[in-house]
Amino acid sequence: MRKIKNFKISVRVKDISRVVGKLTNTVDTPVELEESVQRCCRFYVNFLSPSVVYDTFSKESLPFVYEKDVPAKWAAESFFFVTIGGAIEEEYKKDENAFGEHTGKIVSAIAVDALDQSKNFARRIISSEAQDENCEITRAVNIANEYYEEVSKVIPTDKIGVSAKAGVICPKYSSAGLFYWIPSKKKTKK
């Protein structure tokens, strides 16, 4: 089991502005909304606490079987939980209109983007370990809600402040998934 806490995430203001523009159904984002997005990003980045916990199990030593989108030949599975913590949600609830009427949409866009970056961080770390074992990893496979508790018995989610009960992960901006390890094809010499 490996846990990594408080790794660096950069809030991508342009991407968040684009998403907020779509959420607010505006063709050209008004200057006021752009400024709100920038101020909101600078403020809420301080409340992101990205963390990941994961473990890898060989095909023969799986603690339980979860075979969704299984590739033909695979050697191991890496289960992971990622979160950005609950502080951003708590801070937002203190003053829901701190940055204008669209604060909720902006905070949601920031949180979703940060969670996606956290998943990508987990993918890079696990991919690096797989390459050391002459393997590649598949795309992330999301774990079905009903398996959250079972996976959290094997992966100590409490180490990153995540709990899984009755098919729900807390804090809200958390995710669980797995990667399959596939042995790399050996290059043949001609």
Sign of CA pseudo-dihedral 41, 43, 46, 48: negative
In the structure, what pLDDT confidence band is assigned to residue 167 with cuts at 50, 70 and 90? confident
Predicted pLDDT at 190: 56
Place of tokens 């669980």: 176
Q: What is the largest CA-CA distance in the chain?
A: 67
Query: Is the confidence at residue 65, as pLDDT, over 80?
Result: no
> Distance of CA 2 to CAs 34, 93, 157, Å?
39, 32, 11
Pick from 5-14, 47-56, 100-109, 160-169 the range whose average pLDDT is largest: 47-56
Check if CATH label 3.40.109.40 holds for domain 2-183: yes
What token pair was written down for 66?
Answer: 């979860």
Question: Which residues lie below 8 Å from residue 172, measured CB to CB, with a gap of 6+?
Answer: 86, 89, 111
Cα dihedral 87→90→96→101 (10° resolution): 40
d(CA 190, CA 187): 10
Query: Is the confidence at residue 189, as pLDDT, over 70?
Result: no
Strands (E), the chain: 2-5, 51-58, 76-83, 135-137, 141-142, 163-165, 168-170, 174-183
Domain locations in the chain as residue ranges: 2-183
Report, as an integer, the average pLDDT of 178-182.
Answer: 94
> Distance of CA 173 to CAs 119, 169, 176, Å?
12, 8, 11
Query: Is the confidence at residue 56, as pLDDT, over 80?
Result: yes
Report, as an integer, the average pLDDT of 138-163.
Answer: 91
Q: Could you read off the pLDDT of 67-125 as tens digits, one per residue?
A: 777 888 899 999 999 999 999 999 999 888 888 888 999 999 999 999 999 999 999 99
pTM, two decimals, is: 0.88
